[in-house]
Amino acid sequence: MAELDDLSKILYEDKTMVNAEFHVGENGEVVYGHKLIFALGSSFWRRVFYPKSWQQSTKQVYKVTLPDLNIDTFKMIKKYIYIHQIDYSRIGNVFEFLEVLIRFEFHSLIDLIEKKILQDLNSKNCLLLLDKCINYHALTNLRNESLAYFISNMEQIFSTKGCLNDLSDSTVIYLLSYLPTNISKALILQRLFDRGKKLSERIKIKPTIENATFLVAHLIPLVEREQNYILNEQEQNKITLSGSTNNLNHSSKLNNTSQNKNKNNNTDNNNQNNVHQKNQSNNKNMNNSDYFGIETQSIESNGTNCNGNSNKKIQNLYPSLQLAISFFSKHTTIRSRKCNQNGSLEQLNILMMTTEANASLHEDVIRSIKFTGIKNVQVMNVAEIQPNYDQLIQFDSIFLFSSIEPFSDSVILGNLLAAYVEDGGGLVVCSYRALIENAWKYKKAELKGRIIAGKFLPIAKGSLIKEQRGHLGSILNKTHELVKGVKQFNGGSLSYRIKTQLEDSIPIINEQRWNLSISSTEMNKNTKINTNTNKSTSIHTNVNTNTNVNTDTSIDTNMELNEKNLKNNQNSQQSLYKKNMCICENIAVWNDGTPLISVKQIHPKYGKVVVLNMWPVSGEIGTRKSRYAYWLPSTNGNLIIANSVEYTAKM
């Protein structure tokens, strides 16, 4: 081993036996190297220098130009792969350094640097590390590790004053999407107030869309939906943030601003000046410890007042936001999904997400989506581009199917899809490869993020079943819209699917988006016991914990009755929970009992999620061989696909 180390040191300094020249940086400074050593240290250089086999001739000198690379960075990398030494003090921006390592696939050095960073991970630097990782998209592993640490130590991290102040808006929004239901909302409000002070001051000086977007689209809805943590019940009867005439109703302000758009410019300018003057007069009366009329220093994590004054009134929640709201409403629209209210198939807008680059496969699946009359279908290749939320909310439903090609970022995509469903968007997942569990071959094509971790899908991930010819076994719910007109289905000789089961867990939702409380009367009215022994169904029903004693007694009685019925029907997977009303059901199964069509709906205000456990491409594509490998065109595969898209798209 010592002899090999000595040989490596000799080769590191050698310039006579080299067969690779690297021209690095803008000035093209030459760094000499050996193709074999670079290939052994990097999969990237292995493919460059030895694309076919290791037995290729190495006599020819290979010249490589790297104009965008820092010369010092490249020299440090070379030193490590030759003699396994790295001087951490010479690394400037460690995240830029890691991006270079990831780009050229120096995996051993990547692991070493990441291990060094994670050794020093704590509650104080966790959010800053996560902020950097989100901005540097290649740092997937570091982002996941720091996110896992954040989720495990969330209370401790949020208890630090100003922990969100130095983060970008995108990072704060990213973190909010991971908040569990049991964390103190008042604690989060406190941290958002701390951060909002800086944003508010910037808005009062120079309003911009970016500044107003964060405050209006994220801070205000959070305050509105979690006002119970600040006001007691008696005060809520007197002061409501959305309907009181004595307080600023920002919704009416938005409407008034929208109605005034058609007036002349002088009127608009006068109105904006008046709002600005009103802001200044209101803010003069606010102490430095106040923010939006609330003494934020007095709010503790339990939502009560430090001084014991639980009846403290909110003077006015929005004085310093009036200008932001006025400016924001005139330049953009608060994000909300544009749904088709009249149910017309011709007016539905569908987005087909795919990682498949073959256009002929796109056309085949689009034909199936349009089979029942849908007209507007757009295609987005999520292997090449990473969508944003503003793009997704333009569509009534998303149809996702993927191949072995990896997603551009499976975690971010999963987070976006979860938020889309929470805002009422319909989702159809028809991708067995995205749902294969722990398969190294398809690891990068595996769907991740909140859509998976939050249990939004009706079935769990599973193992791959292929080359086992399959067909429609039985329809468990023959009256369901998803199987309207479906008589037969044959998956062909391949019949791709995953071996899985119903995922009847309650999804981990972001309660900032909807208030999902229903009364016990509504619960009893909506809860039904399924006596069909062929149907695999799970219903989770929300119970309002704020009801009186008599109501609670009726709920307990209802739960006891349900438990008796469940004992008489072992095939029905039905239970009561105290948070959400969630319906999860297998509609149809393959002949081997594997789920074929499954649906989950968290709540009527949320979007429907359907999983088609099949390959969506029909046998009409390609060669004679593929005609019998994929689902047979003579069966109802196109109707299954079209029904699922239509069902999820309609509110």
Say which DSSP state 216 is in. Answer: I
Q: How many CB atoms lie within 10 A of CB 260?
A: 16
Q: Is residue 251 part of a domain?
A: yes
Whether 393 and 498 share a structural domain: yes
Which position has the higher pLDDT, 250 or 416? 416
The pLDDT-based confidence of 638 (bands split at 50, 70, 90) is very high
Whether 505 and 397 share a structural domain: yes
Query: Which of 250-254, 354-358, 533-537 is most confident?
Result: 354-358
Least confident of 34-38, 204-208, 303-307: 303-307
Domain harbouring 32, CATH code = 3.30.710.10
From CA 370, how far away is CA 363, in angstroms rounded? 10
Whether 77 and 189 share a structural domain: no
Q: Is residue 157 part of a domain?
A: no
Predicted confidence at residue 111, as pLDDT, reads 84
- Tens-digit pLDDT profile for residues 437-474: 765 556 678 888 888 888 899 998 888 887 788 999 99
Question: CA triplet 472, 474, 477: central angle to 5 degrees?
Answer: 120
Does residue 632 have a pLDDT over 60?
yes
From CA 582, how far away is CA 289, in angstroms rounded? 43
Tokens for 127? 């959010």
Which position has the higher pLDDT, 317 or 498? 498
Whether 400 and 293 share a structural domain: no
Domain harbouring 610, CATH code = 3.40.50.880
Predicted confidence at residue 614, as pLDDT, reads 93
From CA 15, how far away is CA 33, in angstroms rounded? 8
- Tens-digit pLDDT profile for residues 130-143: 888 776 656 777 88
Predicted confidence at residue 185, as pLDDT, reads 63
Whether 438 and 493 share a structural domain: yes
pTM above 0.75? Answer: no
The three-class DSSP label of residue 403 is coil
Q: Is residue 523 part of a domain?
A: no
Mean pLDDT of 392-420: 88
Predicted confidence at residue 476, as pLDDT, reads 93
Does residue 284 have a pLDDT over 60?
no
Count the domains in the chain: 3
Q: Is residue 521 part of a domain?
A: no
Tokens for 121? 């991970």
Whether 210 and 235 share a structural domain: yes
Mean pLDDT of 375-386: 90
Cα 622 to Cα 226, 359, 447, 638, distances in angstroms: 55, 12, 27, 17
Whether 322 and 393 share a structural domain: no
Among candidate residues 253, 398, 231, 423, the one with its CA nearest the CA of residue 315: 231
Q: Is residue 151 part of a domain?
A: no
Mean pLDDT of 166-193: 69
Does residue 275 have a pLDDT over 80?
no
Predicted confidence at residue 179, as pLDDT, reads 66
DSSP per residue, 312-347 = ---S-S-GGGHHHHHHHHHH---------SS--GGG
Among candidate residues 470, 469, 451, the one with its CA nearest the CA of residue 460: 451
Predicted confidence at residue 331, as pLDDT, reads 38
Of the candidates 331, 362, 393, which is a domain's last residue? 331
CB contact burial 561-597 (16+ within 10 A = b; e otherwise):
ebeeeeeeeeebbbebeebbbbbbbbbbbbbeebbbb
Q: Is residue 111 part of a domain?
A: yes
Of the candidates 275, 299, 331, which is a domain's last residue? 331
Predicted confidence at residue 359, as pLDDT, reads 86
From CA 347, how far away is CA 174, in angstroms rounded? 32
Predicted confidence at residue 438, as pLDDT, reads 65
Mean pLDDT of 220-235: 43
Whether 33 and 103 share a structural domain: yes
β-bridge mates for residue 350, sequence order: 377, 397
Residues spanned by the domain of 17: 2-120
Mean pLDDT of 391-409: 89
- Tens-digit pLDDT profile for residues 336-367: 444 454 557 888 999 999 998 888 899 999 99
Q: How many CB atoms lie within 10 A of CB 330?
A: 15
Mean pLDDT of 400-417: 87
Whether 31 and 94 share a structural domain: yes
Least confident of 28-37, 91-100, 181-190, 616-625: 181-190
Q: Is residue 562 part of a domain?
A: no
Predicted confidence at residue 45, as pLDDT, reads 86
Mean pLDDT of 9-38: 83
From CA 651, how far away is CA 649, in angstroms rounded? 6
Whether 429 and 312 share a structural domain: no
Of the candidates 120, 148, 175, which is a domain's last residue? 120
Least confident of 4-8, 64-68, 142-146: 4-8
Predicted confidence at residue 647, as pLDDT, reads 93
Mean pLDDT of 621-633: 73
Say which DSSP state 462 is in. Answer: B
Whether 312 and 365 share a structural domain: no
Predicted confidence at residue 625, as pLDDT, reads 56
Residue 303 backbone zone (phi > 0: left; psi -120 to 50: alpha; other: beta): left
Which position has the higher pLDDT, 266 or 199? 199
Does residue 196 have a pLDDT over 70?
no
Whether 374 and 450 share a structural domain: yes
Mean pLDDT of 18-32: 87
From CA 154, how far away is CA 175, in angstroms rounded? 10
Among candidate residues 294, 335, 287, the one with its CA nearest the CA of residue 186: 294
Predicted confidence at residue 388, as pLDDT, reads 84
Cα 370 to Cα 348, 374, 636, distances in angstroms: 11, 5, 14
Mean pLDDT, rounded, of the chain: 68
Q: Is residue 339 part of a domain?
A: no
